[in-house]
Amino acid sequence: MTLTSNYGLSNEQIVRYAPSVGAAHAHSSVSDRYMDIPTLDVINAMRDEGYAFTSVMHQLSRLPDGMLYTKHILRARKQEYLGDRRQVGDEVPEIEIVNSRGAYKAAYRIMAALYRLACSNGMTVRTERLGELKVLHRGNQVQEVIEASRQMAGHTDEVMALVEEMKTIELEPAERLLFADYAERARYGEVVDGSTVRRNPAALLIPQHIEDRGKHDLNTTLNVVQEGTMMGGVKERNGKRARAITSVDETTRINPLLWQVAEELRKIHTGH
């Protein structure tokens, strides 16, 4: 479940949508070593750094009080990147923060990310040099998350340069189909509910936006495949349409994998 605004979300909107962000305390099952700092404290500190929060996603829970402790993803970008002022199709750099207040792996995860205006795609960036930073729920977490975010922001020029390079790389039909097939395998595996998956990777290559039609470059292919994989709506071999991915765990698993495939194709074409 995701709430997004290209103009920024208020704290009230974020907490109303994802109560665990503003919960007063962590789940009772966490370790004694767990030092609880509400995600809302991190949000306020990052706002002081000039960031605005544009997206929040949270895990669903069937437990009576589960929504107060579920895992959540927040995306932030600098104020100058808010709104629709940039040319449609342009990517803007963001910071992605994952946290939970329950008995999960107790650490903030901070990653570099991109947001594409043309299709509202949120991509997580993962390269050999740029992975994710973790801040354990101990010590001065707020300042450590701020420092980690600064480190990620320091790679913005590098990430944007990779995007521009991907835009210049034209893929062969076989390469595009291979990319789409990998995305399907990443999402479904080989077997679902005891049955072998009947794949239809070509459907993931059908653009959903006029701006992407007729384009076969690596960056466009990445975004078209990512949108179809994450947002669903693509017709599968059984005639049904794929559902959108609403799980925080699946989002943070699949998104970086798709970027890594694009990065490997970029290396093959450029030699570096």
Question: What is the tens place of the pLDDT at every residue in 13-32?
Answer: 999 999 888 876 655 555 55
- What is the structure's pLDDT at 85? 60
pLDDT at 25: 60
Among the listed residues 211, 203, 216, 47, the one whose alpha carbon sits nearest the alpha carbon of residue 117: 211
Residue 41 C-beta-side C-alpha neighbours within 13 Å: 13
Residues of the chain with pLDDT under 70: 1, 24-36, 61-68, 85-89, 102-106, 119-121, 128-129, 190-199, 235-239
| Cα–Cα distance, 118 to 115 (Å, whole number) | 9
Domain boundary among 155, 179, 212: 155
pLDDT of residue 251: 92
Same domain, yes or no: 119 and 190? no
Q: What angle do CA 247, 252, 255 make, to 5 degrees?
A: 110
- Of 105, 130, 155, the residue at which a domain comes to its end is 155
Asked if residue 162 is part of any domain, the answer here is: no
Q: In terms of domains, do 117 and 194 share one?
A: no
Considering the domain boundaries, does residue 22 fall inside one?
yes
Burial class (CB in 10 A: 0-12, 13-18, 19+), 237: exposed
* One domain, residues 203 and 131: no
Burial class (CB in 10 A: 0-12, 13-18, 19+), 8: middle
Judge whether 163 lies within some domain: no
| Token pair in block for residue 215 | 């384009």
Beta bridge partners of 2: 57
What domain range includes position 256?
168-270
pTM to 2 decimals? 0.86
109 and 191 housed in the same domain:
no
Residue 145 pLDDT? 92
pLDDT, tens digit (0-9, with 9 covering 90-100), for 59-118? 776 555 545 678 899 999 999 999 876 555 588 999 999 988 765 556 889 999 999 877
Same domain, yes or no: 265 and 132: no
Same domain, residue pair 188 and 146: no
User: What is the helix (H) or strand (E) element at residue 9, kind and residue range?
Assistant: none
pLDDT at site 112: 93
Domain membership flag for residue 84 = yes
Q: Which three-class secondary structure state does DSSP give residue 88?
A: coil
Q: Chain-wide mean pLDDT for the chain?
A: 84
Q: How many CB atoms lie within 10 A of CB 96?
A: 28
- Do 60 and 148 reside in the same domain of the chain? yes
Total structural domains within the chain: 2
Residue labelled with tokens 């792996």: 105
Q: Domain boundary residue among 155, 180, 212?
A: 155
Q: What is the pLDDT of residue 170?
A: 98
Q: Establish how many alpha carbons lie within 13 A of residue 40's alpha carbon, considering only the half-sphere containing its beta carbon.
A: 19
Residue 20, in any domain of the structure = yes
> Between β-strands 107-116 and 91-99, what pairing exists: parallel, antiparallel or unpaired?
antiparallel
